[in-house]
Amino acid sequence: MAGRRRPLTGSHWRGRAHRGRQLIGIVVLAVAVLGALAGLTAWRLSNVSRALSAATAILRRVDPDLRAGNVAGIEGDLQAAEAHLVHASNLLHSSPELGLANAVPVLHQNVTAMRRSVELALRLVDGGRRIIVAARPLRSPEGKFLVSLRAGEIPVATLRQIDIELGSIAFDLPGPSELGSNRWLVGKVASLKRRVYLEAVHRRQQLTAAARSLDLLVELSGGNGPRRYLLAVSNIAEMRGSGGMILSYGILTANDGRVTLDRVGPIDDLKLDAPAPVQPPPDVLARLGALEPNRLWRNANLSLDFRSVGPLLESMFTKATGLPVDGVIQIDSVGLAAILRGTGPVDVADLGSVTADNVVPLTLNEAYTRFPSRPVRQEYLATVARATFEQLVSGQFPTLSPLGAALRKAVDGRHVLLFSHRPDAERISAALGSDGGVPPPDVDWGGLTIQNFSGNKLDYYVDSALRLTGRRPQGKIGEIRAEVRLSNTAPANGRPPYVFGPFNPSLRAGEYRGLVTLYVPAGTFLKSSAGADLRSPPIVAADGGQTVVTFTVTVQPGTTRAVTLDLLVPPGSPGPPSLRLVPTPRVRPTAASVDLTEGAATLRIDELLVRPMVLGPAGARPVTGGSG
C-alpha cells in the first residue's frame, strides 16, 4: 500500500551499524588528532611562554638603569630580552603544529595572542634601541646619557631628535583601552598577554611624558625660535590666590638652546599709571575689582587659576615696559630651592651660602630678623633669585637630572607655574601639570586659598587645615560640613615690623587678616555657618566660573580660629564617585582631612596637601598632569 514503510531486513541493520562504527571511528580519530594537536600546541606555547616571561622580566629591569642613565645596562637588558624573544618568535613561526592550530577554534585564539604578545615585546626592544641611537650624542665617557647645561646652553638639536623618536615610538604602542578580549585564552597565555600589554602601556605613558618634557624644554630654551619670559618671583610669606605676592621680577631670554638672564629687580620698578588691557574674569573683577588686580602687581594673582593670572601678568608687564613676552614663569622660594637642589648653593652678600635646605627660611623670615635695622622694604628674595638664576644660566652642569627631578616636585606643589600664549607650549604645560590650571566646573573638586591682607609676612607662621565630612547620596542633594581652621603661631609683638606688622593703626603686631576662599563643586549652596572673629559673613560667589564660599577672618598671634560651613551639594557626576583636591603653594602646606560617603563609596584622606590628589573608592592617589 502506498506510504507504508518496508520492514528493515538484517542486511539493512548490519549496514547501518557499519556506518555508525565508521562514524564513531572518525570521531574518535578526530578527537585523538585534535587532542594530540592541542597537546603539541600547549607544549610549544609553554616553551614560548617561558621565553616571553624571561624577556618581560628583563624589560622590567630597564627602569632602574634608565633612572641612573646607565646606557650599558640598558643595552645589555635589551640584548638579553631580544634573544629570548627571537627564540619565542622562531618557535611560533617554525612549528608545523602551530600552523595547523590556526585552523582550530580556541587554539587559533591562543596562538594568535601569543604571536601578538611576542611582536609587541619586540617592538618595545626596537623602540629602546632607536632611543639609544638618537641619544648617542649625549653619551658620556662613563657610558651614561646626560643632558647638560653649560653656560646657559642645552644640546637642543639632539633633544629635538630624541623627542621625535619618543613621539613616534609612543604612537606605535597600545593605549589603556586597547587590551582587547581575553575570551578563549587559557591560563598562561592570558596572563602573559596582559603582562606584555601593561608593560607596553607603561612605556607609552613614560615615553609620552618624556616627550612632553623635552617639548617644553626645547620651547623654553628657544629651540623653536627666540623667546622672552617674564619671571614673576612670588613671596609665599604673604599669600595670594595662585601663590605668594609678586614682589620681584626678572626677564629670561632664549634662542636656539641658549638661555640668558637679562635683569632682576623689584616689582615696584614696573609702575602702571593705568590698568592693563587684559582683565581678570568678570566675576573676579566684580568681587575684587577694588583691589585693582590689573594695575597693582601685589594684587595681580588673586585667583587660584593661573591660566587667568598668567595673561594678566603678561599684559601688565607689556603695559609697563612696552616689551612683549612669550609667557610668564611664576616661582617662589620653594621653586628656588628646587633649582638649588640641581645646581648647588650660591653665595649671597649678608646671607652667606644659600642652599636648597636653607633658602626658604632665609628668604621668607630669617634674613629680616637677622638685619632688623636694614630698610624695611629690602627684598632678600629678589637677591637670592638673581644669584640662583645667574648661576643656572652661567654654570657648568653635566646633567640636568637632579634639577629636573626637583622641579617636578616643585611643579606638583604649584611652586613653579608656567603660562604661555603660544598654544603648543600651553598645551604641553597643561599636560605636565605646570600650567597652574584648575579642573573645569563639571568636575567635583575642592581647594582652599587664604590671602594675606595684613600687610605683613605672617604666612610663614600660619597653619591651615580643611576638613570635609558628610554624605552625598547617589542622585540626591548631599550635605557636607566644611571646617576651615587657621592657627597663627607668630609671637606677640614680634620684630621686625616688615615681618610682623602692623601695617596700619587698625592692626597690631602679629595679627593675621586673611581672605579665605573655599572652592566647592558647582551649584553648592551655603546652608549655614558658624565661627568667631569673622569680619564678614561667608557668601557663595564665583571665581572664573568656579563656585566658591568666601569670607574674611582675623587671627591674633598665638591663637586658632575655626569656621564651619554647612553646605548643600548637588548630585555628583555620572560614573564612579571622585573628588579632586588642588593644593596652594603655602610655605606650611594645608592639612587636608576628608571623610565623605558618596553613594556606596567612602572617600578618605588625611595628609598635608603638597600635590594634586584625586579621591576615589579605591583610595587617594596623586594626579599626574592635567589641570589641577
Q: Cell numbers 645596562 correspond to what residue?
A: 73
3-state secondary structure of 383: helix
Q: Which amino acid, one-letter code, is at 241?
A: G
Predicted TM-score (pTM) above 0.95: no
- Euclidean distance between CA atoms 128 and 530, whole angstroms: 60
HEC letters along 262-326: EEEEEHHHCCCCCCCCCCCCHHHHHHHHHHCCCCCHHHCCCCCCHHHHHHHHHHHHHHHHCCCCC
pLDDT score, position 92? 74
Which of these ranges, 10-14, 58-62, 76-80, has the smallest mean pLDDT? 10-14
What does 118-177 look like in DSSP terms, one character per residue? HHHHHHHHHHHHHHHHHTGGGB-TTSBB---EETTB--HHHHHHHHHHHHHHHHTS--TT
- Euclidean distance between CA atoms 416 and 231, whole angstroms: 10
- Euclidean distance between CA atoms 153 and 609, whole angstroms: 35
Using CA atoms, how far residue 249 sits from 130, 376, 442, in Å, is: 42, 19, 35
Q: Packing angle between helix 187-220 and helix 423-432, nearest 10 degrees?
A: 130
Higher pLDDT, residue 173 or 71: 173
Report the chain's mean pLDDT, rounded to a whole number: 88
Confidence of residue 411 (pLDDT cuts 50, 70, 90): very high
pLDDT score, position 26? 46
pLDDT score, position 21? 54
Strand partners, 15: none
- Euclidean distance between CA atoms 253 and 226, whole angstroms: 7
3-state secondary structure of 530: strand
Is the pLDDT at 100 greater than 80, yes or no? Answer: no
Is the pLDDT at 623 greater than 80, yes or no? Answer: no
Grid cell of 305 as nine digits: 587659576
In terms of average pLDDT, the best of 134-138, 170-174, 236-240, 422-426 is: 236-240
Q: What percent of the chain has pLDDT over 70?
A: 88
3-state secondary structure of 590: coil
Q: Which of 158, 159, 157, 153 is nearest to 215 (CA)?
A: 159
Instruction: Report the pLDDT averaged over residues 6-18.
Output: 57
CB atoms within 10 A of CB 444: 22
Higher pLDDT, residue 61 or 627: 61
Would you give the distance in Å from CA 215 to the centre of its chain?
A: 16
Q: What percent of the chain has pLDDT over 90?
A: 65
3-state secondary structure of 476: coil
Strand partners, 607: 592
CB atoms within 10 A of CB 327: 23
The sign of the torsion formed by the CA atoms of 358, 359, 360, 366 equals positive
Tens digits of residue pLDDT in 365-398 = 998 888 766 554 457 899 999 999 999 999 999 9
Radius of gyration of the chain (CA): 32
Is the pLDDT at 448 greater than 50, yes or no? Answer: yes
Residue 190, phi-psi category: left (phi > 0), alpha (psi -120 to 50), beta (remainder): alpha
- Ordered structural domains, the chain, with CATH: 26-220 (no CATH), 227-432 (no CATH), 445-622 (2.60.40)
Confidence of residue 315 (pLDDT cuts 50, 70, 90): very high
Beta strand ranges found along 500-622 (DSSP E)? 512-520, 525-531, 539-543, 546-555, 559-569, 579-582, 591-598, 601-608, 613-616, 619-622
3-state secondary structure of 442: coil
- Euclidean distance between CA atoms 252 and 263, whole angstroms: 8
Instruction: Report the pLDDT averaged over residues 432-448.
Output: 94
- Euclidean distance between CA atoms 429 and 420, whole angstroms: 8
Q: What are phi and psi of 462, to 5 degrees?
A: -100, 125
Higher pLDDT, residue 301 or 91: 301
Instruction: Report the pLDDT averaged over residues 208-226.
Output: 93
